[in-house]
Amino acid sequence: MNIVFVLCSDNFCVAIDLDTLKDCPPVLSRFLGMSDGFAPPETDELGRLTFVATFGITRDRFLDCLAFVRCGRINDIHKLVDTFNVLGGCDLLDECYLKVLKDSQEQQERFREEQEQKKLNPLCPAENVLQLFKFEAHQSLWTHDNDEWEAVGVVEEVPHNFWWRKRISRE
């Protein structure tokens, strides 16, 4: 076991077995004294590494970084990115963050498409913002005079009534 103690900005200490940090980012590796060819890391009078406290990182934030390095666990990606940026970055986390951003953009695009679809295919008068349809509330067995009317949704305020609509002709 190759254990070091790290002092955090909230005066809590973290014990780390350096042998468990296989894919440690290069700058963090240097701060922990794991890289050859560099000066030894700064310690306090008790031998604890002080870089985390110096950078103003709390124990919880630092533990999140260690959890990501050890097993890829992410609690809050935005906080984790902020903390790793202070610690010199992490390429693997940057890749995860880009994927989250891409997924978020795709989700926003799907939402926009759904909103546009609602405008073109409204199921109640409140959704008829483009005024493409005429809506009326009737019973499910309402007899209408032509095939232009269709039942499209339940009238929530009146049980057993449905919204019927027909397209407004723009001639």
* Per-residue tens of pLDDT for the chain, all 171 residues: 889 999 999 999 999 999 988 889 999 999 999 988 889 999 999 999 999 999 999 999 999 999 999 999 999 999 999 999 999 999 999 999 999 999 999 999 999 999 999 999 999 999 999 999 999 999 988 888 777 899 998 898 887 899 999 999 876
Phi, psi angles (nearest 5°) of residue 52: -65, -45
Residue 64 corresponds to which tokens in the numbers above? Answer: 């999140």
The two beta strands, 3-7 and 133-139, are: unpaired
Model-level pTM?
0.64
DSSP secondary structure letters along 41-79 = PPB-TTS-B-HHHHTT--HHHHHHHHHHHHH---S-HHH
